[in-house]
Structure 1
């Protein structure tokens, strides 16, 4: 069984997973807000370079090299500065290419996914909300790792704190859109019914008509299972952002623009 551990830095806590213990990594709590990923990189590895994205709930996955290229593109007249959030390329996943690249994603109920390869030692960081999950962002990131030589059996994946299915109310339309990523059906109703019938179903009933409760992490788990990843290669944090206000910010709970950062460093 994979274990999760609280680490402390300057009296603030962040979470690590035994599955990724060979890589500097952390799922940081809201207490680190508003520190930048550049500052948090120092916590994980002082020699690493930090990279982040302008997250847009899509399924684009980039490498640090592609970020730098886009920041330096000549038709871009804005200030080429990673501190200026507005100029960062839009994407929701990052895959390392070299050692000592710290990859960061921000989340406030969406699922932060950190991936590492035991053989190539490369890593990926993914922001998987329901839209990104519907568009299979985690399989996209894994495909990019495979293009760089990763084998499915060598991957180790940790899904960090996110809103739990039991409290995440969505419309049946949203549930069906996400469900299509694992069980293609002819219509919305059939998809929702099929999701309810799965073992350990990713959908739970909701008292309101036209609503259900959606477990986004479970959907991501099932997408990875379809790729041939075994359950032993995946760890899911036992924390819900919505139900753990002492550690995590939740957009659904507080409706503020705050985030917590999750990051991992390639070796």
Structure 2
């Protein structure tokens, strides 16, 4: 669904936007936004919006925007997902190979922003966020979801243990047991036999290639989300150094920000 993504330049900032999220001010920013922070980037989206972000810890905690009030001094609450609970809230996550995911609810105008690396994906942070939105009144059929630039599966080598840990969240689609008694290699081999699998073979023993973007999409399918509700950005942070920071490529802690404003 490449046609759903466009680049636009606002205030000299190249920003990737997704047609599914057109009703909401939003953007997946690039390395060219560094070292700006959400407090300044929000002005590009909506200069009247309040700013909400958290201390990301590669977990599965999801907070409401009011639980993550703008903090100018002191520590921010630890979480990796945010949901809006009022209009005019700018929700932000930062990434440098992990998946930035932005969600909009077409009926209520509510939004969510999620940081989903392999650890958060293994803990099901995206389905947890969707369920939290449902608990706040959203319906599955009203949600639209954009998975932004992240490292692509064909260049993301991980251990078989990591691939299996993430793969167990979608093991039901391979008709295999997800419990820990099934050997990691069996889980990985079974998933590799599926068409369009997010778990790819690697020539090095004990390794696999993992497409975390596609795992998140498969998790959404298990919830009942349809393909026309989801868009995956056709950009790889590792392979496009002119646009994106990549921790796997450089080992440096530099990030790009992704944000969306609730209606």
Do both proteins adopt the same fold according to a TM-score greater than 0.5, normalized to the shorter chain? yes
Residues 1:170 and 2:158 aligned together: yes
* Structure 2 residue aligned with 1:225: 221
* Structure 1 residue aligned with 2:46: 45
Q: CA deviation at 1:10?
A: 2.8
* Structure 2 residue aligned with 1:17: 18
CA distance in 2, matches of 1:26, 1:212: 32
CA distance in 1, matches of 2:247, 2:153: 15
Q: CA deviation at 1:189?
A: 1.9
* Structure 2 residue aligned with 1:159: 147
Q: 1:21-40, aligned counterparts within 5 Å?
A: 21-40=22-41
Select the residue among 237, 240, 248 that pairs with 2:244: 248
* Structure 2 residue aligned with 1:182: 170
Q: 1:179-218, aligned counterparts within 5 Å?
A: 179-183=167-171, 184=178, 186-218=182-214
Normalising by structure 2, what TM-score?
0.94
Residues 1:239 and 2:235 aligned together: yes
C-alpha change, 1:65 and 1:10, in structure 2 (3 Å) is closer
Aligned 8 A contact 2:11 2:44 in 1: no
CA distance in 1, matches of 2:95, 2:138: 26
* Structure 2 residue aligned with 1:72: none
* Structure 2 residue aligned with 1:266: 262
Residues 1:83 and 2:84 aligned together: no
- How many residues align? The count is 254
- Deviations along 1:10-29, one digit per CA (max 9) or x if unpaired, are 32301000010010000000
Q: CA deviation at 1:83?
A: 3.2
Normalising by structure 1, what TM-score?
0.93
CA distance in 2, matches of 1:194, 1:45: 46
**Which stretch has the larger CA shift, 158-167 or 203-212?**
203-212
CA distance in 1, matches of 2:13, 2:51: 20
Partner SS state of residue 208, structure 1: coil
CA distance in 1, matches of 2:162, 2:197: 16
Alignment RMSD (CA, Å)? 1.1
Partner SS state of residue 47, structure 2: coil
